[in-house]
Amino acid sequence: MIDEVYMARALQLAKRGCFTTAPNPNVGCVIVNNGNIVGEGWHKKTGEDHAEIQALKIAGSQAKNSTVYVTLEPCSHHGLTPPCCYALIKAGINRVVCAVQDPNPIVSGKGFNLLQQAGIKVNHGLMMEESKEINRGFFKRMCTGYPWLQLKLGISLDGRIAMIDKNSKWITSEDSRNDVQIYRAKSSAIISTSSTVLSDNPFLTVRWSKIQKQINFLPNKKLLCQPVRVIIDRNNRVTPKHKLISQAGQIWLIRHKHDQNIWPSNVVQMILPLCQKKSMLSQILLLLGKHEINNVLVEAGGIFSGALIKANLIDELIIYIAPKILGHNSISFCTLPGLNNLKDAPTFTYTDIKRIGNDIRLTLMPKK
């Protein structure tokens, strides 16, 4: 029972990294000696101290003969920072309790072996699912090559996202739109399409001022950065004049060929060959995975949303439902051509239902 208490604290610390650690996982660490917490740490950003190193620095000499609680297997390789395992061994740690083995093949199991060879007792598996949950994107990318994909939708009671003239400002409430900023901030990338850019001319950036309460704990706001904005633009319809181009942060235009426009340095044209739509969607996600993108938020129209659902590429649906009815002469949130039988309908399971202002936020996952 005592182990669970300290691991729960380590998980609490790990969650602090949700806005800043990508592409690294969120990791928390607690060091306990004689029943007292003598050191704590959490990983803040790639290239900075890992959670174990932070906790060891605070613990100092009190780390000797202590127990370390850490949410992910300590690293055993030289990357941007030295291996945590060697620091734990040098500090004279007696026991390591770890939530889950690192899925990264560079580390996986090697950290545990190194610690055990040094005479340190290792227990792992405590609160494993909770640790995986806060690193869903990292685990999925390491295991499959794909990032974790969330599809966000703002709809009316009758499942509509815009009027027939494409006017959609605003269906959902300001509270819901502010809530979306949290999902954006936790994402490594935001995917949209040229159709959405042309119809809405969005910025697709995180409005940090709207989530001050959630980020106030950060010691340095410079740790924050905008997600990569990925625009599916097969026919080169996006131009340097669109609003999102003027905003800070990387922009990737996914195209079949380059254009001759002069683009700012933060804009990259990524060329993918012509192929079937489902294959193209998979290619895009694998491309993001290769660029170490863990978590992706999709904000797009009904055609692209439907294509992702039909291709079984969605990991999670986030739907904001406003108490409005737009009628049949409006645009549906999802286009699923070829769906004629009820038995073939995509089916989801509710994981959360919450009221956000005057709206309701539904969180769903594909039914297995």
Picking from 80, 99, 134, the residue at the C-terminal end of a domain is: 134
* Residue range 41-88, pLDDT digits in tens: 999 998 889 999 999 999 999 999 999 999 999 988 776 677 899 999
Whether 211 and 250 map to the same domain: the answer is yes
Percent of the chain residues past pLDDT 90, beyond the cut: 75
In this prediction, residue 167 carries a pLDDT of: 64
* Interatomic CA distance for residues 63 and 38, integer angstroms: 7
Domain identity same for 180 and 306: yes
Average pLDDT over residues 138-158: 95
Task: Report the C-alpha gap between 35 and 353 in whole angstroms.
Answer: 39
Backbone angles phi, psi at 133, to 5 degrees: -60, -40
| Domain assignment of residue 47, given as a range | 1-134
The two three-digit tokens of residue 229, written as one number: 């904005």
Single-letter amino acid, residue 265: S
Whether residues 35 and 77 share a domain: the answer is yes
Q: Do residues 177 and 314 both lie within one domain?
A: yes
pTM recorded for the entire structure: 0.91
If you average pLDDT over residues 285-314, what whole number do you get? Answer: 94
265 C-beta neighbours (distance < 10 Å), count: 6
Residue 220 sits in the same domain as residue 179: yes
- Residue 152 sits in the same domain as residue 290: yes
CATH of the domain at 2: 3.40.140.10
> Which residues are designated catalytic?
52
